[in-house]
Amino acid sequence: MTMRNVIRNPLIAAALGALIGAAPLAALYGVRAAQATTPPAGLTSSAAQGGVAVVLPDFSTLVKRYGPAVVSIRVIEKSPSASAQGSPFGPNSPFAPFFHNFPAPQQGPIEGEGSGFIIRPNGVILTNAHVVAGATKITVQLRDRRQFTGKVIGIDKVSDVAVVKIAANDLPTVNIGNSNRLEVGQWVLAIGAPFGLKNSATAGIVSAKGRMLPHSNYVPFIQTDVPINPGNSGGPLFNMQGQVVGINSQIYSRSGGYMGLSFSIPINVAMHVADQLIATGHVRRGELGIYIQPVDQGLADSFGLPEPEGALVSSVNPGSPAQAAGIQPGDVIIALNGQKIENSNDLPVRVASLMPGSKVNLTIWRNHAEKHVIATLGAMGNNLVAAAGSAARPGGRLGLIVRALTPDEQQQDNTHGGVIVQGVSGPAEDAGIEPGDIVLSANGAPVSTPAQLASAVAKSKGHVALLIQRGDSRIFVPVGVQ
């Protein structure tokens, strides 16, 4: 389809034409530029008089074709807890405002709005997990103003993807694209309901790919400069071919509104999650059982790596697939199944995309030489403190990701048992717990494994008292249980 429009300003065009000429202008914009004496088709003569013609994209055909498949989602929550703590980044993060789809905490039910898009004609809809999580009622409105009650099929807060179903048939659907083919600099279009303004279209370009955001280690976000605001959450990001390449999920903001940086979940990641949610109601991810860090130039020089690339293994969990495969701290994983690991963020994304039980060929750098090992992936979740049967966000009811201390770590920290905090968000972060803290007990019961901590949390009501060791100091910290 043709999505072009010729925009002309005689004064600016004349100045630019005199300074750089038509050919450099065409190279600058990557579009057609020409001296026009006759108005091109579709333009009035007044718009086409003199100057340089610059062709920019026209999204009107795309909006007409696929706009009907974009829906508005209105939710009602029982309490303000989800909106008050809706951001996995904490209330002070510049990413937090995008998650505040609801008014300030108040008594009684609260309402919020988001967006979504239809992927199957029988009413299957994709949206963000944070749009529908905690909702007691979901109302889906189509562009033709028909309304339906939505039912949550599945929620995956790790990726911030949710599937909702409405009782309808023969609905318009979007065309799913391939986000791996998206290139930086390409034009993209968002359709959604910013601030509740339904069926709004905004456009921009892809600013970057593979962005890893705080507390989101398994989604390589697409960064754009598309104006996105609260209410756009869960809406589609289209490429110029009319294909959905992402789900609009987050913005970077200090004001609560758009400030030039928007982030979308790649559609390949979202559909991998959605297919599992539709089939089973939950998502399974592979896990190696290692903790990694980036490789900078100094580390590359130290290990004799030709380039600063790969993922440096800082520790290996006891009994993990990585330990069984012989991976050691100090190894640098430089490829997985023959695909290069350019930076450390690539590894968790690729491993998580594979199913537990999968065998992977890891190329590691050890003692100034390459070595190949085969590992059988385990199932992610063994180190997460989460409510049983819930689709909890990373860190579960407390917002903690922990692992057991090794015997050497126990000796070094002068502890008997305990679990070390690897990631923190939500209630635990609000309570002041930090990565590196050691949890020694929960409600007076000693803790030596993530499972013991999860058990203590499951028995708690309201709050759980954690005995935290930080350095040489120990203190009890009350943490709210979600």
What does the pLDDT read at residue 6? 38
pLDDT tens digits for 156-198? 988 999 999 999 999 999 999 999 999 999 999 999 998 888 8
What does the pLDDT read at residue 39? 40
Q: What band does 298 get if pLDDT is binned at 50, 70 and 90?
A: confident
What does the pLDDT read at residue 254? 74
**Domain-located, residue 272:** yes
Name the pairing type of β-strands 52-57 and 4-7.
antiparallel
What does the pLDDT read at residue 292? 85
**Domain-located, residue 156:** yes
pLDDT tens digits for 98-145? 444 444 445 566 788 999 999 999 999 999 999 998 889 999 999 999
Residue 378: exposed, middle, or buried by beta-carbon count in 10 A (0-12, 13-18, 19+)?
buried
**Domain-located, residue 236:** yes
Give the residue numbers spanning the domain of 12. 4-58
Domain termination residue (choose one: 222, 249, 284): 284
Q: Do 129 and 271 have their domain in common?
A: yes
What does the pLDDT read at residue 66? 95
What does the pLDDT read at residue 67? 95
Q: 130, 200, 216, 441: which is the annotated catalytic residue? A: 130
Q: What is the CATH number of the domain that holds 346?
A: 2.30.42.10
Q: Do 52 and 85 have their domain in common?
A: no
Residue 95, pLDDT above cutoff 80: no
Distance CA 233, CA 112 (A): 11
Residue 337, pLDDT above cutoff 90: yes
Distance CA 114, CA 84 (A): 16
What does the pLDDT read at residue 51? 54
> Which of the residue ranges 32-36, 266-270, 302-306 would you say has the lowest mean pLDDT?
32-36
What does the pLDDT read at residue 413? 77
Q: 83, 200, 233, 425: which is the annotated catalytic residue? A: 233
Domain termination residue (choose one: 284, 314, 329): 284
| Tokens standing for residue 318 | 């006891």
∠ CA 203-205-211, rounded to 5°:
120
**Domain-located, residue 386:** no
What does the pLDDT read at residue 78? 66
What does the pLDDT read at residue 245? 97
Q: Do 135 and 41 have their domain in common?
A: no
Residue 1, pLDDT above cutoff 80: no
Q: What is the average per-residue pLDDT within 469-475? A: 82
What does the pLDDT read at residue 54? 64
Query: Is 160 in the active site?
Result: yes
Cβ(222)–Cβ(184) below 8 Å: no
**Domain-located, residue 249:** yes
Q: 87, 115, 159, 160: which is the annotated catalytic residue? A: 160
Q: Do 367 and 452 have their domain in common?
A: no
pLDDT tens digits for 251-294? 877 777 777 889 999 999 999 999 999 999 889 999 998 888 88
Query: Is 60 in the active site?
Result: no
> Which helix (DSSP H) or strand (DSSP E) does residue 24 occupy?
helix 22-29
Which 3 state secondary structure label does DSSP give 316?
Answer: strand
> Which helix (DSSP H) or strand (DSSP E) does residue 105 occupy?
none
Q: Do 253 and 353 have their domain in common?
A: no
Each as own residue / partner, the long-range contacts of residues 354-358 (CB below 8 Å, 24 or more positions apart, any chain) are: 354/285, 354/286, 355/284, 355/286, 356/284, 356/285, 356/286, 356/287, 356/380, 358/286
Q: Do 262 and 351 have their domain in common?
A: no
Q: Do 43 and 125 have their domain in common?
A: no
Q: What is the average per-residue pLDDT within 447-465? A: 82
pLDDT tens digits for 41-87? 333 334 444 555 567 889 999 999 999 999 999 999 865 444 444 44
Q: What is the CATH number of the domain that holds 126?
A: 2.40.10.120
∠ CA 150-153-157, rounded to 5°:
105
What does the pLDDT read at residue 147? 96
What does the pLDDT read at residue 163? 96
Cβ(204)–Cβ(232) below 8 Å: no
Q: Is the pTM of this model over 0.75?
A: no
Residue 101: exposed, middle, or buried by beta-carbon count in 10 A (0-12, 13-18, 19+)?
buried
**Residue that has been written with the tokens 């590691």 in this structure:** 364
pLDDT tens digits for 346-405? 898 899 999 999 999 999 999 889 999 999 999 886 443 322 223 233 345 788 888 888
Mean pLDDT over the full length of the chain: 80
Q: What is the average per-residue pLDDT within 294-306? A: 87
Strand partners, 332: 312, 365
Q: Do 13 and 157 have their domain in common?
A: no
**Domain-located, residue 384:** no
Domain termination residue (choose one: 252, 284, 316): 284
pLDDT tens digits for 144-156? 999 999 999 999 9
Cβ(402)–Cβ(479) below 8 Å: no
What does the pLDDT read at residue 52? 56
Distance CA 481, CA 48 (A): 65
Residue 226, pLDDT above cutoff 80: yes
Q: Do 20 and 134 have their domain in common?
A: no
Of all residues in the chain, the percent with pLDDT exceeding 90 is: 43
Residue 475, pLDDT above cutoff 60: yes
Query: Is 282 in the active site?
Result: no
